[in-house]
Structure 1
Amino acid sequence: MDLEAIPGVGAKTAERLAHLDDAERALREGDVAALARAPGVTEGQAARIARGAIRERHGDGSRFLRTDRARELYDDALSLLRERAVTDYAKRRLETFYPSASRSRIEEVRAFVARATERDPDPAVLDALAGVAPLTDPAGLRVRERCLATGDAEAYARAERQFPELSVELVEDAADLAELARGYSTVIALDEGFAGLDLPGDVRVLPDAGERIDEVLPERLLAFFAENRERLLAAADVHEAAGLDSPCGLDALRDGLSRIEADGTVRGDEELGRLQDAVSDVDAAVSTGESVANDRLREAIQTRDVTIEGADLLSLVEQGARVDALLDRELADEFDEAVAAAREHVVDALRLRDHADLAERAFPDDPTFPVRSDDEAVARLRTDLAAARDRRAAALKADLAADLAALRAPVEDLVRDALELDVELAVARFARDFDCTLPAFGGRGFEIEGGRSPLLDVPFEDVEAIDYGVDGVALLSGVNSGGKTSTIDLVGLTVVLAQMGLPVPAERVRLERFDALHYQAKSQGTLDAGAFESTLREFGGLVTDEGNRLVLVDELESITEPGASAKIIAGILESLDEQGATAVFVSHLAGEIREATGFDVQVDGIEAVGLVDGELEVNRSPVKGRLARSTPELIVEKLATAEEDAFYDRLLGKFAE
């Protein structure tokens, strides 16, 4: 795949994406999490890249949202969806859905929606999803008790790339390897020429180390599982709660995770625990051993009568004898017993097995008082115990890594499936919360039955359903606060959702597959000459565009004087009608515009059926072919009915002229 062919992907971004193991799959499936694992790519960028890949795959170069208000409706639709997603991933993934003129893209999403709306948003599933997030690769891992060794410069460079967690050493001969073995618990030689040598310490020859990463460096795999433990357990819970087919054995996964400590070490091994304790307790055990020996020897000296004949004493003095010589001659057995007790204490305290001989060397046989340990022998004991600990830990890690290696790829799918389920459930919840249906494409214009806008500032269940359809150019009239703007908002939102491939909040919708949506929002006050000219230029570009467009305009007359506005709007409507566009213009000047228009323009009205306690009572569904009465007319009518006064009758008559 030519990554730079994707809209929005330049040379630098393509280079970053090339670091991914399977960038093509991630782009094909819109896997935002996988794309965000590329170096230097944020989740927001990943969503845009995925959206660009979708466009490229469908040959979709359309720019459907042509105005700020049209883009605001898309943002509103996206917010409604994102609010129903649990995971941050799903919120980002939903950004890959966009309104399109591409038939294949719309149908692709509609197929997704058909699957999604069959899902049950079970609270147990939603609770489990709260703990799911994209898997991460642990950073900063460093293994110091093991190293790689080679005499080849190319092998050295390759090993540094493959194993950044390990030290890689250049060696010339077996002597260099032996020297490394004194400083590392394990040395892994990469050169075949070192095979068969009898070297001290744990030296292994693995020329194919690069193909046995989990064996050479099990810490990498274990750190991955340790860091992602909670996410994996949550994803497993999601699969069980939702009844999804799991790509791996969940019991085996949970068992493997239960054997890993938070730092990636293996838990629950008695022998490893013994060695860890022994290394930690060497100094304390030796110190206590010294006390045991000295206490026994002191007691023996205090309780024993030692008789030395004068000639013997004179001989010892002449020979320069010290107390050690006296001990050796008179208390040899007692000294041996004291030292044996010291050695026994160290062996017992450290629970030594294979290293008991080193504990014996820690206390020399030469008589002395007080008894002191041999520092060099104690250091050797500590070093050997640490090496044994590290080898045991490495062996346990290798065994566990071997068990978990088969789960490494499946758990990626496990988490991805759980995250994608959240995307599906967000769509399902949206469809349920707003009583949505999939629209039908065909014919000209649009037709909405039982549509209710979720954008209104009232509970959705209190929103009054409306019916409205237009198959050409229409003017929408109505009283103030009667719902004209909310009606075209509903039309715009319905079209945006439909052309995203998503369900719409209505009982039934049929619409043309539009190439673009132009929505001109209501202007705030009369524009000055420059802004007025700019607005006219926008409409000049709109009416010269090609393709079937939906044009929604809210009270364009507010841009200038009413008389001029009516003429301008009439001219715009004539151009749109000639092009076969679908358009709805909301206006309080519908009557004046109709008179100025050179064709029989449709005028629809949102009718107020009366005033109740000073509040308008409105039929929210526009009535086709009827110019709605204004609020002032309704008030005058009420007064003319209630008051027997010719003045009000005269005013009412003016509305009929």
Structure 2
Amino acid sequence: MELTSIPGVGEKTAASLRELDDPERALRDGDVSALARASGISEGRAARIARGAIRARHDDPGGFTATARARELHRDALELLKDRTVTDYAAKRLETLYPSGVQSRIDEVRAFAREAMEHDPTDAVLDALEAVEPLDEPSDVHVRDRCLATQDAETYSRAREAVPELSVELVEDTRQLSELARGYSTVIALDEAFAGTDLEGDVRVEPDALDDPESVVPERTLSFFAHNRETLQAAAAVHREADLDPPCDLDTLDGALDRLDSDGAVRGDEDLDRLNAALASLDGAVEEAERLANDHLRNAIEERDVTIEGGDLLSLVERGAGVDSLLQRELAEEYATAIRKAREQFVDALDLEDTVSLANRVFEEEPTFPVEHDEQALSRLREELTATRDRRAGRRKREVADELAGLQADCRELVDRALELDVELAVARFAEAFDCTMPEFGGDGFAIEGGRSPLLDVAFEAVESVDYRVEGVALLSGVNSGGKTSTLDLVGLVVTLAHMGLPVPAEYARVERIDELHYHAKTQGTLDAGAFESTLREFGNLVTSVSEQRSVLVLVDELESITEPGASANIMAGILEALDERGATAVFVSHLAREIIDAADTELAVDGIQADGIEDGELIVDRTPVKGQLARSTPELIVEKLAEDRTAEDGFYDALLEKF
């Protein structure tokens, strides 16, 4: 796909998208989260780009929602769906759903929605989804125990780019390579020239190392799994609870994840644990061994009588001998015992059977009091333990990374399926919450049976159902607060959802496939001359755009408020006549229905939301419009109620009633 062919994507945006791992997949799948990771692209823009890619794929010109209120209905529909998502990904992914007049796009989403409605969104699945989010590549992986080395400047540059997690060093000869080995537990030489040379330390000659960076830096793979541990475990739980067929063996994945710490270190290796424990306890073990040796010597000295003849004492003094010489002469055996105990204590405490010789050097046999460890020997032991630990950790990391690397692609699919399931469950939950059905397409106009609007500010269970059908143009009349606007909203929402390919809140619905929805909401107050002219131009353009090749649905709520009532009636009559002549479907809500009918040169259909009367100051209304009947007004109902009261003997209210 040529990125710049997508509506709204220029060269700069295309360059940002190309930085993604797989921009075509993200565009194809509508992966808004992935698109938003591109430089300079917000989540809102990512959703628009994804919709643009979909439109390009279906050759969809867009423009279905032709007015502000029509666009509001689309947003309202999306919010109802997004309210039923668990993950941020699903909420963003739903932004790619939009109403379209192109049959292929409608059919694509209808197929998705039908499958989605088959799901059972259990609490266990929804709970598991709470911890699922798109996989993330850790960006803070730095390895300090090994380095790459090369003699070649070009190889040096390539290594720095391919393996940024490691230090890369330029060396001239084997001497410098050996020096590096004293500072790192492992050095990986990238030049064939170093092969066969005898080098100190752990120096590996691997000329092909850059062809497989993961073998050089297994931490790259391990960090990915450690960083995404909770998401992977949650995605596995989603598959188990939803009884989905996973792309990999979940028990194998769980076992592999259990072998990693949160920082990517390998767990469950006894030798590694022993070496780590030894290094952590090294200083404390030295102090304890010193204390044990000194306690033994102190007790020995206190319990023994040491006799030195005058000549011997004079000889020792003349030679400048001190307590060490006395210890060597009089307590040599006890000192040897003290050192032996110190060494045994030190080795046992740290479990250093494989480095006994090096550990023993920490406590020399030359008598001193108090007994003190050899700091240089302790440093050498620390270095040896560190190098041994790092080499073993490196081997174990490579082993586990090799095992996990084979799961990485499947794990991505595992998470993707869980996230997509949340999108599907949102549709299923929406359909269940609002008693939805999949609408039919065909015929002229629309037909809705048992429709209930979820947009009303009352509990959905309390919403009265509405049946309404229109073919051609119709006037919808009714009393104030009788439900005219909510009926218009219901029609607009059903048509919008149907063209999004989604289920609609009705027992049955049939809609004509249209290219544009024009919904003109109620105008607040009379328009000034400029705004009035602009409104007329808008309707003029609308009327002239209707043709056999481009069908529209027009919904208008109380257009009469734009100017004087008499002029409004004439204008609306003319608009309805023009729309009727062109075969459009339109519903105009108006309190001037009688005046519009009188002003029209052709017969116009009129429907009425009827009020049966007033009880305790409240209207009793049948919300379903009655075909072919003009609704009575609220004032007429009030006058009728007063006339029936019969408290006025002069017939005043009867006379008023006759005026209607």
TM-score, scaled relative to structure 1: 0.95
**1:169 partner SS:** strand
Structure 2: 5+ residue runs without aligned partners? none
Question: Which residue of the partner structure matches residue 650 of structure 1?
Answer: 655
Output one character per residue of 1:2-58: Cα deviation in whole Å (capped at 9) or x when no partner.
112212223233222222222212211212333344445444333222222111111
Match of residue 630, structure 1, among 619, 625, 633: 633
Aligned to 1:619: 622
Post-superposition shift, 1:385?
Answer: 0.9
C-alpha distance in 1 between matches for 2:113 and 2:294: 83
* Separation in structure 2 between the aligned mates of residue 45 and residue 149 of structure 1, nearest angstrom: 44
Aligned counterparts of 1:320 and 1:435: Cα–Cα separation in 2? 104
How far apart, CA to CA, are the structure 1 residues paired with 2:500 and 2:413? 26
Q: Cα deviations across residues 392-449 of structure 1 (Å, max 9, x unaligned)?
A: 2222222222221111111111111011111111111111221211111112211212
Deviations 1:446-477 (A, max 9, x none): 12122111111222222222221222121111
C-alpha distance in 2 between matches for 1:80 and 1:511: 21
Aligned twin of 2:509 = 509
Distance 2:283 2:465 in 1: 82
Give the letter for the 2:632 counterpart.
R
Shift of 1:309: 5.2
**Counterpart Cα distance in 2 of 1:633 and 1:317:** 133
Residue aligned with 1:627, SS: coil
More displaced stretch, 578-587 vs 365-374: 365-374
Paired amino acid for 2:575: I
Distance in 2 of aligned mates of 1:222 and 1:120: 35
Query: What is the distance in 2 between the residues matched to 1:624 and 1:43?
Result: 46
Task: For residue 301 of structure 1, report the CA deviation from its aligned partner.
Answer: 4.0
The residue correspondences of 1:72-83 to structure 2 (distance < 5 A) are 72-83=72-83
Aligned residue pairs: how many? 655
Which residue does 2:204 correspond to in 1?
204
Instruction: Give the 5 Å matches for 1:375-524.
Output: 375-524=375-524
What residue identity is the alignment partner of 2:176? D
Matched, 1:589 2:588: no
Query: What's the CA shift for 1:312?
Result: 4.8
Partner of residue 191, structure 1: 191
The one-letter code of the counterpart of 2:655 is R
Please state if 1:564 is matched with 2:567. Answer: yes
- 1:229 matches 2:229: yes
Tell me the amino acid that sits aligned with residue 376 of structure 1.
Q
The corresponding residue for 2:288 is: 288
Distance 1:344 1:603, change over 3 A: same
Mapped partners of 2:435, 2:291: distance in 1: 83
Alpha-carbon spacing, 1:616–1:305, altered in 2? closer, same or farther (3 Å): closer
- Residues 292-346 of structure 1 show CA distances to partners (whole Å, capped at 9, x for unaligned) of 3333334444444555555555554444444434444444333333322222222
Structure 1 letter corresponding to 2:644: T
Call closer, same or farther: CA 1:371–1:584 in 2, change over 3 Å: same
Match of 2:551 in 1: 548
- Which residue of 2 is the match for residue 264 of structure 1? 264
Cα-to-partner distance string for 1:455-501 (whole Å, 9 max, x where unaligned): 11222222222221222121111111111111111111111001101
Letter in 2 for 1:654: K
| 2:220 pairs with 1:217 | no
1:21-32 equivalences under 5 Å are 21-32=21-32
> Aligned-pair distance for 1:579?
2.5
**Offset at residue 637 of structure 1 (A):** 2.4
- 1:18 is aligned to 18
Partners of 2:328 and 2:458 lie apart in 1 by 101
Structure 2: distance between partners of 1:302 and 1:124: 73
Rounded Cα–Cα distance in structure 1 between residues aligned with 2:154 and 2:358: 41
User: Relative to structure 2, which stretch is displaced further, 183-192 or 202-211?
Assistant: 202-211
CA spacing shift, 1:37–1:251, aligned 2, 3 Å:
farther
Q: Distance in 2 between matches of 1:446 and 1:143?
A: 66
Helix, strand or coil: the match of 2:627? Answer: coil
Alpha-carbon separation, structure 1, partners of 2:337 and 2:384: 26
**Deviation sequence 1:556-595 (CA, Å, 0-9, x none):** 1011110111111122222222322211111111111112
The answer for unaligned runs of 5 or more in structure 1 is none
CA distance in 2, matches of 1:88, 1:314: 90
Q: Which amino acid aligns with 2:635?
A: P
Aligned partner of residue 654 in structure 1, secondary structure: coil
Q: Distance in 2 between matches of 1:86 and 1:291?
A: 60
Q: 1:565 to 1:183 in 2, by over 3 A?
A: same
1: distance between equivalents of 2:332 and 2:115? 89
Over the matched positions of the two proteins, sequence identity in percent amounts to: 67
CA distance in 2, matches of 1:237, 1:19: 32
Mapped to 1, the partners of 2:209 and 2:650 lie a distance apart of 104
Moved over 6 A (4+): none
Answer with 642-651 or 216-225: which moved more: 642-651
Matches within 5 A, 1:68-147: 68-147=68-147
Instruction: After superposition, give the CA deviation of every residue in 1:161-184 in whole Å (9 maximum; x if it has no partner).
Output: 222221111112111111111111
- Say if 1:542 and 1:336 are closer, same or farther in 2 by CA, change over 3 A: same
Give 1:286 shift.
2.0
Amino acid at match of 1:611: I
Alignment correspondent of 2:526: 526
Q: What secondary structure sits across from 2:353 in the alignment?
A: coil
1:588 aligned counterpart, secondary structure: coil
Map Cα deviations across residues 342-378 of structure 1 (whole Å, 9 max, x no partner).
2222211211022211112222333333332221111
Q: Say yes or no: does 1:361 pair with 2:366.
A: no
What is the DSSP-based 3-state SS (H/G/I as helix, E as strand, rest coil) of the residue aligned with 1:21? coil
Q: CA, structure 1 residues 388+42, in 2 after alignment: closer, same or farther (shift >3 Å)?
A: farther
Q: Distance in 2 between matches of 1:38 and 1:384?
A: 46
Which stretch shows the higher mean deviation, 582-591 or 33-42? 33-42
Tell me the equivalent position of 1:336.
336
Paired with 2:612 and 2:219, the residues of 1 have a C-alpha distance of: 76
Give SS of 1:337's match: helix
- CA displacement at 1:290 relative to structure 2: 2.6
3-state SS, counterpart of residue 601 of structure 2: coil
Calculate the aligned-residue CA RMSD, in Å.
Answer: 2.0
Distance across 1 between alignment mates of 2:655 and 2:322: 140
Is 279-288 or 641-650 further displaced after alignment? Answer: 641-650
Distance 1:52 1:231 in 2: 30
Rounded Cα–Cα distance in structure 2 between residues aligned with 1:185 and 1:545: 76
Higher alpha-carbon deviation: 271-280 or 496-505:
271-280
User: Residues 377 and 624 (structure 1 numbering): CA distance in 2 closer, same or farther, change over 3 Å?
Assistant: same
1:522 counterpart SS class: coil
- Of 638-647 and 440-449, more deviation after overlay is shown by 638-647
Distance in 2 separating the partners of 1:99 and 1:278: 66
Question: Does 612-621 or 139-148 show the bigger shift?
Answer: 612-621
- Give me the TM-score of the superposition, normalised by structure 2: 0.95
Instruction: Give the Cα–Cα distance (whole angstroms) in 1 for the partners of residues 51 and 151 of structure 2.
Output: 49
Could you tell me how far apart the structure 1 residues matched to 2:355 and 2:366 are? Answer: 21
The alpha-carbon deviation at position 63 of structure 1 amounts to 0.6
193-202 or 537-546, larger mean C-alpha shift: 537-546
Give the distance between the partners of 1:223 and 1:329, measured in 2 at CA: 60
Bigger mean CA offset, 328-337 vs 158-167: 328-337
| Deviation string, structure 1 residues 51-105 (Cα, Å, up to 9, x no partner) | 2211111111221111111111111111111111111111111111000111110
Instruction: Give the Cα–Cα distance (whole angstroms) in 2 for the partners of residues 633 and 187 of structure 1.
Output: 96
Secondary structure class of the residue paired with 1:464: coil
